[in-house]
Structure 1
């Protein structure tokens, strides 16, 4: 399968790129510094029967996104902000626009409609919608006062996805860690969870499984460990 990963240079996007290559897929790794992130010797860590093609581009650039989307079988969006969340929340300071999730996803959706690509998987945030009631008070405070601006934008992102008319799946992981890959993540469609931490590698596995399962079209997946 030809898969475009938007936001492929770090975090879950990088873990997913590695997973898809290991599974034999042809991955277009899209990001502002993709050619640097996947340059030798780092590229050597992306091993498997598949392949990776880094493409430099901004997710908010319609022309760059449209070129990357054309010819793909599926698109996965793993956009986020790597800056200190308190600086983003209270100082409005980040190297990435605070609304990158919603605006970037809207740009991807427009490009997919234009090029006829149907399959879309988007990483969102656990705690949105009915999953909010499964958070304890501490996590609710974190979501409101530490990552509140990003949380609101994730909600807008989900609205874009649900209204896209595409074959979409939303993936809502709990708090992400860089722990080594463990057993497959716990994935539900009823907003329930196990713990409140899950590794990016485990979430990448959930993304890959969703891509391969047409039964996840139109589903919102809660991912935990």
Structure 2
């Protein structure tokens, strides 16, 4: 397959690139600083582009079979809450999702796998008290934007799947538990495990129009 990963230069996005290449797919890795952060490899095309730029997306998306979208704010939550993000906007998830969905329709791409967050949408009511407090105090603007993002996907008419990981770690393990009813086992999961799920979903039609909770 030819898969494009948008938000590919760090975190889960970078792990998704590795997972897809490891499964034998051709990958286009896109972010604003992709060429600075991702080394070239066989089967990999690295492109600097803004996920909210329609012209860039119209240039990049045609010819791909699936999209994996992992954009978000990677800066420390406390500083973002007090001062706002330095590198992007608070509504980056919804802005990028809107632009990517429009460009996907123009390019004729139906399959899109999007990373959201546990505690949004159908898993909202599954959060414990401590996590509800954490979301309310530190992540409220980002969570609101993620709710908007999920609403866009659900109304898009495309073959979407939403991936909702619990707190992400950089541990090497790939063990994971997935559920479409919001159930979790543990409150953390490795990025590598989540990335493998993204790769599996991108190459299949499993769990179309489903939201999948992922825990370790």
TM interval, shorter chain, is over 0.9
5+ residue gaps, structure 2: none
**Structure 1 residues 21-170: aligned runs within 5 Å:** 21-39=21-39, 43=40, 51-170=43-162
Q: Distance in 2 between matches of 1:100 and 1:2?
A: 25
The alpha-carbon deviation at position 95 of structure 1 amounts to: 1.1
3-state DSSP class of the match of 1:146? helix
Query: Counterparts of 2:5 and 2:153 in 1: how far apart (Å)?
Result: 16
SS at match of 1:83: coil
Contact 1:176–1:198 (CA<8 Å) still a contact in 2? yes
Q: Give the Cα separation in 1 of the matches to 2:65 and 2:150.
A: 21
Question: Quick one: distance in 1 between partners of 2:46 and 2:145?
Answer: 27
1:134 positional shift: 2.0
Counterparts of 2:74 and 2:119, CA distance in 1: 19
TM-score by length of 2: 0.96
Q: Distance in 2 between matches of 1:130 and 1:101?
A: 18
Equivalent residue in structure 2 for 1:210, among 191, 201, 208: 201
Indicate the residue corresponding to 2:214 in structure 1: 223
Instruction: Please say if residues 121 and 150 of structure 2, whose CA atoms lie closer than 8 Å, have aligned partners that are also in contact.
Output: no
Q: Could you tell me whether the CA contact under 8 Å between 1:126 and 1:174 is conserved in 2?
A: yes
When the two chains are superposed, the root-mean-square deviation of aligned CA atoms in Å is 1.2
The answer on whether the counterparts of 1:16 and 1:204 sit within 8 Å (CA) in structure 2 is yes
- Once residues 4 and 129 of structure 1 are traced to their aligned partners in structure 2, the CA distance between those partners, rounded to angstroms, is 25
Q: Is the Cα contact below 8 Å between 2:67 and 2:202 reproduced in 1? A: no
Deviation at 1:211, TM superposition (A): 1.9
User: Which deviations, in whole Å up to 9, do the C-alpha atoms of 1:56-99 show, x marking residues without a partner?
Assistant: 10011111112111110000100011111112112223311111
Would you say the 8 A contact 1:123–1:171 is kept in 2?
Answer: yes
1:14 aligns with 2:14: yes
Distance in 2, matches of 1:129 and 1:74, equals: 23
Q: What is the alpha-carbon distance in structure 2 between the residues aligned to residue 10 and residue 204 of structure 1?
A: 12
Unaligned segments of structure 1, at least 5 residues? none
Q: Given the two structures, how large is their TM-score scaled by the length of structure 1? A: 0.92
Equivalenced residues, count: 216
Tell me, yes or no, if the aligned pair for 2:183 and 2:213 is still in contact at 8 Å.
yes
